[in-house]
């Protein structure tokens, strides 16, 4: 059994909150001795999706264990995220493609009052690792 340390912070539905969520993720990862680059990118993309699509307050939770780092962004929208695979020519819609390229696994689950979008980074967050693809279940 591994020790899990979790921190969370709530943000208002404002554009500045996306940057604040990235700063929160970066400083938390750095404080844990983890390269903040990938963590900051993943949180930034998921927070931007919460701001743009849910238009509700959102919460960022980071959990660290010996297996890696988990990111969760919860918001008040029941609409589940999806990847736009042919987004190359679109001015937006690439966020989840970026997340998918970085993380070991990601997905979303419905909760009372909205949803949680989660992403798992391997123990060596910030370094390339095996990619298992999107939407993998985790226990």
Residue 54, both tokens: 């849910």
Q: Which CATH number fits domain 5-122: 3.10.50.30, 3.90.1170.10, 3.50.50.60, 3.30.565.10?
A: 3.30.565.10
- Average pLDDT across the chain, whole number: 86
Closest CA to 99 of 33, 58, 44, 61: 44
Determine what percent of the chain is predicted with pLDDT higher than 90. 69
C-alpha 107/C-alpha 136 separation (Å) is: 6
The pLDDT of 29-53, averaged and rounded, is 95
Determine what percent of the chain is predicted with pLDDT higher than 70. 81
Domain spans in the chain, listed from the N-terminal domain onward: 5-122
Specify the pTM: 0.84
* Per-residue pLDDT band at 130 (split at 50, 70, 90): very low
């Amino acid at each position: 059994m591994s020790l899990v340390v979790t921190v969370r912070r709530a943000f208002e539905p404002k554009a500045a909150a996306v940057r604040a969520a990235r700063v929160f993720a970066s400083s938390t990862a750095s404080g844990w001795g983890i390269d903040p680059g990938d963590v900051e990118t993943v949180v930034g993309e998921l927070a931007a999706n919460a701001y743009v699509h849910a238009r509700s307050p959102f919460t960022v939770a980071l959990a660290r264990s010996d297996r890696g780092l988990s990111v969760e962004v919860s918001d008040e929208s029941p609409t589940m995220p999806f990847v736009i695979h042919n987004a190359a020519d679109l001015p937006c819609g690439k966020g989840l493609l970026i997340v998918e390229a970085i993380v070991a696994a990601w997905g979303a689950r419905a909760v009372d009052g909205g949803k949680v979008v989660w992403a798992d980074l391997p123990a060596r967050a910030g370094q390339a690792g095996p990619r298992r693809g999107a939407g993998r279940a985790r226990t």
